[in-house]
Amino acid sequence: MSRTDPRKVRSAEDARRIVEERGLTHIKVGLFDLDGVMVGKYMHRDKFLAALDGGFAFCDVVLGWDSKDELYDNTRFTGWHSGYPDATLRLLPDSCREVPFEGDMLLFMAEFTERAEAICPRGLLRRVLERADAMGFAVRGALEYEFFMFQETPESVREKGFRNLRPLTPDMMGYSMLRSSVHAELYHELLGLSEAMDFPIEGLHTETGPGVLEAALGVDGALAAGDKAALFKTFTKVWAQRRGLMATFMAKWSPDYPGQSGHIHLSLTHRDSGDSAFFDAEAAHGMSALQRHFVAGQQRLMPELLAMFAPTVNSYTRLIPGFWAPTDATWGVENRTTALRVIPGSAKSQRVEYRLGSADANPYLALAAAIGAGLHGIEQGWEPDEAVTGNAYELDHPIHQALPRTLWEAAQRLKASSPARELFGDDFVEHFAATREWEERQFRRHITDWELDRYFEII
């Protein structure tokens, strides 16, 4: 008797069947918090089967603390004032995946419901896609990530104080056939993991910098693309640590090398016909009026939504000239110096690449912001500014294209954004902006090595 393929699980009944076939006593259940960190637990079979119909409870503290488990002191959604009660989650049967290194173990994802749904990152993306559906569009997307690999462990990096770390490989060797062949077994393992866990990698190669790789994930519907990106980040780190290595997706770990991007490729199709909404063979660069409006929305709202693409203090060290990261809300056609890169092609390939995002962004929030801004541009009938030709870093740009330079400023722009509140809801905007303010305040409490070196003796 053939076993149920996890990728064919669609309903609660399918989920019951595959759990029973495998004789599992426990099932792995996970969800993603505001920082894109996956949390979860092993759930007993009986509880899991009951939760397929009625949901289950999970402490809402995961929406009330930061990436170091420190409790926010400035949020209203939850806190000591509410007692950190349980929130309700729904299981997502069609998220079923095998965990290859745990025998027959299965992983299912969940998302918040009821009051917490307003804050839930996956729920936010889903609501933006429901907006697209109501407008007659389907959204397809894919993310690509740069990440550095180190010959280190969680223990060794702490013993070293995160200094003098040993990269997987030395020197600046982008697209190196030498590196990928010498370490072929590692590449094959990661490619195999991506296939087994259904976040297939379309392309994998070295980037510029010691030990840095870039992985382009395959295109899918935007919600599935968010799931795959979030799982890719999580289980790439798991895979590396199981090999005695470490992978980091922080935006910039060293001032000597380019930062790590999390680029987003997006396209719209007409929901009913399946035809491209972005391609017009008669228009310049194949850009339909709808694609122009979409790009205009992304461009105009970029300064207001930056906190959703650059969510950490470290994110802003990446947004400097000459390091392959945009510094203003610009767009161009096949121009990698701009924040938005329109990629002309056919009805199948015409798309826009949102190049602003860094690898540390929560993929659900970044997708929600990139898509929501574009939809708003369509609704408003906006037109983009003039496209940039040549090197965007060397040009002067209008003041309205300037991006916030700090996380604090970005949080203030988000809080003051009427389109953000209309797209994402007041509850999310208030809560997420407060968490970013907290993040900035945590940073301000610390003394950096740069400050000690600069001021300790001479001032």
CA proximity to 260, closest of 175, 174, 324, 340: 324
Q: Are 72 and 65 in contact (CB under 8 A)?
A: yes
Question: b/e string for 313-330 if b means 16 or more Cβ within 10 A?
Answer: bbbbbbbeeebebbbbbb
Query: For the residues 251-261, what does the mean pLDDT come to?
Result: 91
Contact 242, 195 (CB under 8 A): no
The Cα 328–Cα 321 span in angstroms is 10
| Residues written for the chain | 459
For 324-368, the pLDDT digits (tens) are 678 899 999 999 999 999 999 999 999 999 999 899 999 999 999
Count of domains forming the chain: 2
Tens of pLDDT, residues 137-193 = 999 999 999 999 999 999 999 999 999 999 999 999 999 999 999 999 999 999 999
pTM of structure: 0.97
3 pLDDT above the threshold of 90: no
- 288 lies in the same domain as 375: yes
Domain with 84, as residue range(s), is: 6-116
| 163 shares its domain with 104 | no
Report pLDDT for 174. Answer: 94
**What distance in Å separates the CA atoms of residue 450 and residue 220, rounded to the nearest whole number?**
43
Among 87, 116, 145, give the residue marking a domain's end. Answer: 116
Give the pLDDT confidence of 283-307 residue by residue, as tens digits.
Answer: 999 999 999 999 999 999 999 999 9
Check whether 443 has a pLDDT greater than 70. yes
Burial-class residue 203 by CB neighbours within 10 Å (0-12, 13-18, 19+): exposed
Q: Taking the CA of residue 25 as centre, how many other CA atoms within 13 Å lie in the half-sphere pointing to its CB? A: 0
Contact 321, 393 (CB under 8 A): yes
Task: Read off φ and ψ for residue 83, nearest 5 degrees.
Answer: 80, 10
CATH number where 134 lies = 3.30.590.10
The reply to whether 411 and 280 lie within a common domain is: yes
Compute the half-sphere exposure of residue 355: CA atoms within 13 Å on the CB side of its CA. 25
**Residue 458 forms part of a structural domain:** no
Residue 363 lies in a domain: yes
Quote the CA–CA distance of 404 and 305 in Å, as a whole number. Answer: 10
Best CA proximity match to 170, nearest among 161, 179, 158, 162: 179
